[in-house]
Amino acid sequence: MADGARMVEVRPETYSYVFNPYREPIARVEPGDRVVIHTDDAFESRITKKEDIPSRALATAKLLNPQTGPIYVEGAEPGDTLAISIESIEPSRDFAVSVLVPYFGGLTSTNFTRTLQEPLPERVWVWNLVDGGNRLVNEDLGVELDWEPFMGTLAVAPDLEAITALAPGPFGGNMDVPDVRPGNTVYLPVWNEGALFYTGDCHARQGQGELCGVALEITSKVTVVFDVIKGKEIEWPRIESDERIMVVGSARPMEDAARIAYAELVLWLEEEHGFDRWDAYQLLTQAGGLYVGNMVDTTYSLVASIDKTYLRS
């Protein structure tokens, strides 16, 4: 992108809680514009201190994970691919929060995996940004962690459906994948005129799996640049970094997410990198990467990858 790119700032008046093809765009941008997007955290800033009780703080919230959007990208049409280059994620407050919410997370029963057991205790952890914003510290844990921000949620509107902003899927969504970070480019299928882009739920950082269900949630200012790849159809989100190409599969059970991610990566190697299908299968067997993005959302997200050094052309 040229440095002389136009800058467009998107500051939402209200949020969307679904990835919705029917909602009016809140901004229109051109490919190549530098788009600065303001996002709230997953709890719409209702939880900010250790003494907050999540179930009480969220009792009046009808819905979670507020999204900024949709942003209409000029020229994007069904059958295209939307490329989102992530330039930066800046915090708009000096702390992050994580919490335990009843019946939500990776090591508790949930609305999906039902048991008759009591919930885990509620808890709030506040992590303060220190060291010029380079690190986060929580005093209870006595641990410092690096600032490694990414967008927990980014999506295009699905085709015909309006889907909760808590869901990951072919449209991207609430994938909670740390590789959706500055320096990387995310590719999403386009089903609607203007692509109708949504984002929110930025994280100061997160481990693989997002174990308790809630990363280091922040309010933030995200800068992205869109590109539209005309006539190129993809089925599932792809990510490209300097070192690797990746596919994100989201499904339950988790092995189905793994199958989707790796099957799409096999086909990608076959279609664009000159490998025979079975040679691609072999290469990924010996050199592929497969980590868990989230094990807590409505479907699980797994990331399959291969280093670019192994690719032809």
Closer CB to its own copies, residue 9 or residue 139? 139
Q: Give the span between the Cα atoms of 227 and 56, in whole angstroms.
A: 42
**What is the helix (H) or strand (E) element at residue 54, kind and residue range?**
helix 54-57
- For residue 95, give the nearest of 125, 63, 122, 72 by alpha carbon: 125
**What is the helix (H) or strand (E) element at residue 49, kind and residue range?**
none
Q: Which amino acid is at 275?
A: F
Closer CB to its own copies, residue 190 or residue 292? 292
Q: How far is the CB of 249 from its own copies (least distance, A)?
A: 8
Q: How far is the CB of 156 from its own copies (least distance, A)?
A: 15
Burial degree of 286 (CB within 10 A; 0-12, 13-18, 19+): exposed
Contact in structure between 183 and 242 (CB atoms under 8 Å)? yes
Q: How far is the CB of 97 from its own copies (least distance, A)?
A: 11
Q: How far is the CB of 179 from its own copies (least distance, A)?
A: 13
Half-sphere exposure of 163 (CA within 13 A, CB side): 21
Q: How far is the CB of 42 from its own copies (least distance, A)?
A: 13
Closer CB to its own copies, residue 187 or residue 300? 300
Find the helix packing angle between 277-287 and 254-272, rounded to 10°.
120
Q: How far is the CB of 10 from its own copies (least distance, A)?
A: 22
Closer CB to its own copies, residue 83 or residue 206? 206
Closer CB to its own copies, residue 34 or residue 293? 293
Closer CB to its own copies, residue 194 or residue 213? 213
- For residue 254, give the nearest of 131, 106, 141, 59 by alpha carbon: 106
Which are the contacts of 282, defined by CB distance < 8 A and separation ≥ 6? Answer: none
